[in-house]
Structure 1
Amino acid sequence: MRRFYLVGFVLLLSFDTVAQLSLKFVGDQALPVEMSAAWLARVLGEPWILGALAGYVGAFFTWMTLLKHAPIGPAFAASHLEIVTVMGASALLFDERLHWPQLVGAALIILGIVLLAMSESEEAAGTVAPEGAPA
């Protein structure tokens, strides 16, 4: 089951990251932003829009499959790791600068996910008493 979670979360992360980066590519090519039919046609005519659509559809089905089996707390937290991957990929692909608050935030997200996973592992192993139960 652990391999299922690992593969599932890597897939979810990949789909989410591809979707976000694809939208960034689309947005960069469809400038300037304006509320017009011509702008909408430019957006929908960009090939990267298919990457965004595929990413969101893949993420949806992966997330629904994970929710059937994974504990909701760690699963929800791990799904936010996308923030870190998109930030890193944006720095590489779009030359976006990373500053110390972003890096600290990314580290805190990762730390939070690790702590939740450790807590969930201890609870599943029976080493942590449920709330309200004597220790």
Structure 2
Amino acid sequence: MRRGIAFGFLCLLGFDVMGQLSFKGAALAALPMSPDTAWILRVLAEPVLYLAFLGYLGAFVTWMSLLKHAPIGPAFAASHLEVVAVMPLAALLFHEAIGWPQIVGAAAILAGILCLALEDSESESGI
């Protein structure tokens, strides 16, 4: 059961990262933004936009499936791993800057997930 939940979280992470990076790619490809039909058609013509929709749909279905089997506290915290995973990939793909606030935020997310995972494992073992 634990392996299935871990695999589910890896799938969730993959779908979330795919959705976020694809959406950013589509937004950048559609620049400059303008409130007209030509811009809307340009956005809709971006193939990476549909990859973003697929990522969001996959993440939704995976999340709903995980909620049936995973404890909600650690599951909710682990769902925020996408923020940590997207950050270095966005730096590589889109040349976004990573500063101390982002590093501290990522460390806080990881620490929170670790604390919840440890709490969950202690409650299962009866400690």
TM above 0.5, one fold? yes
Q: Where do 4+ consecutive residues of structure 1 move more than 6 Å? A: none
Shift of 1:53: 1.1
Equivalent runs, 1:77-116 vs 2, <5 Å: 77-116=77-116
CA distance in 2, matches of 1:125, 1:6: 19
Deviates more, 1:64-73 or 1:29-38: 29-38
Partner of 2:72: 72
CA distance in 2, matches of 1:74, 1:51: 28
TM-score normalised by the chain length of structure 2: 0.97
Partner SS state of residue 35, structure 2: coil
TM-score normalised by the chain length of structure 1: 0.91
CA distance in 1, matches of 2:36, 2:17: 28
Partner of 1:124: 124
- Identity over the aligned pairs, expressed in percent? 57
Shift of 1:50: 1.5
1:44 equivalent to 2:44? Answer yes
Q: Which runs of 5+ in 2 are unaligned?
A: none
Shift of 1:29: 0.7
CA distance in 1, matches of 2:51, 2:76: 24
Q: Over aligned residues, Cα RMSD in angstroms?
A: 0.8
- Aligned length, in residue pairs: 127
* Greater radius of gyration (CA): 1
Q: Which runs of 5+ in 1 are unaligned?
A: 128-135
Partner of 2:17: 17
CA distance in 1, matches of 2:36, 2:84: 33
Partner SS state of residue 107, structure 1: helix
CA distances 1:9-34 after superposition (whole Å, capped 9, x unpaired)? 11001000000100111001101112
